[in-house]
């Protein structure tokens, strides 16, 4: 059985914890890791959840705290994570700046598959989805972009399916993603219902 660690990042209020809760229910766990920061270590609190995929393994979901985003580049690494989900709050006037900020922070791991979910569009700036898509094109970024409600299991499930598909494409293009062995069945039956 394989375990695929998926990092979930985004600004405060974008739905990181809600996304894990939608998939894992009350099995959300808080834990701390320490990152080296010069001569000192910086404790970072992560929220984590495990999602079992029958006959394949599990997805280990790690929500990275927004207040430590400046350290994200040191935390994220292709050898530690199988992919990244970036959640952007669609209500935020600064959504494009947030997208830029997070893309810069994760640029050190550009080989990792990425999927982007825009949350809270039902509450505000619908124009942000098109603006974010245009910004992604300007960055030369080609990855899945979805409007999601992070509280809805089906929405988060579709976002993760798109991320897994991106992993398969990366593997087909020669990237080493051996951990995908066994993750061949459509996940819809597992967590998109």
pLDDT tens across the length of the chain (193 residues): 588 889 899 888 899 999 999 998 888 888 877 766 666 777 777 888 988 877 667 888 988 887 776 667 666 766 777 888 999 998 888 888 888 888 887 776 677 888 999 998 876 656 667 777 877 777 777 788 899 999 999 999 999 999 988 887 766 666 544 444 444 444 444 444 3
Beta-strand runs (E) in the chain: 2-9, 29-37, 40-53, 57-63, 83-89, 114-119, 145-147
Give the pTM. Answer: 0.81
Q: How far apart are CA 103 and CA 99, in angstroms?
A: 6
Domain annotation for the chain: domains and CATH numbers: 2-183 (3.40.50.300)
- pLDDT for res 151: 94
Q: Which residues does residue 30 pair with via DSSP β-bridges, in sequence order?
A: 47
The total of other beta-carbon atoms located within 10 Å of residue 46's CB is 19
- Residue 24 CA, distance from chain mean position: 15
Contacts with 40 (C-beta within 8 Å, 6 or more apart), sequence order: none
């Amino acid at each position: 059985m394989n375990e695929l660690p998926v990092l979930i990042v985004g600004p405060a209020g974008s739905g990181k914890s809600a996304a894990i809760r939608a998939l894992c229910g009350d099995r959300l766990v808080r834990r701390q890791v320490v990152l080296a920061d010069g001569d000192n270590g910086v404790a970072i609190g992560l929220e984590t959840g495990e999602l079992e995929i029958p006959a394949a393994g599990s997805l280990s979901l790690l929500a990275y705290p927004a207040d430590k985003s400046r350290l994200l580049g040191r935390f994220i690494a292709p050898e530690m994570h199988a992919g990244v989900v970036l959640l952007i709050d669609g209500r935020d006037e600064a959504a494009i700046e947030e997208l830029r900020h997070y893309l810069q922070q994760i640029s050190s791991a550009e080989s990792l598959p990425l999927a982007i979910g825009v949350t809270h569009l039902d509450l505000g700036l619908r124009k942000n989805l098109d603006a974010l898509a245009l910004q992604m094109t300007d960055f030369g970024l080609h990855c899945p972009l979805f409007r999601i409600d992070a509280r809805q299991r089906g929405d988060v499930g579709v976002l993760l399916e798109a991320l897994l598909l991106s992993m398969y494409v990366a593997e087909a293009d020669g990237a080493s993603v051996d951990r995908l062995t066994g993750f061949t069945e459509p996940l819809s039956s597992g967590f998109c219902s």
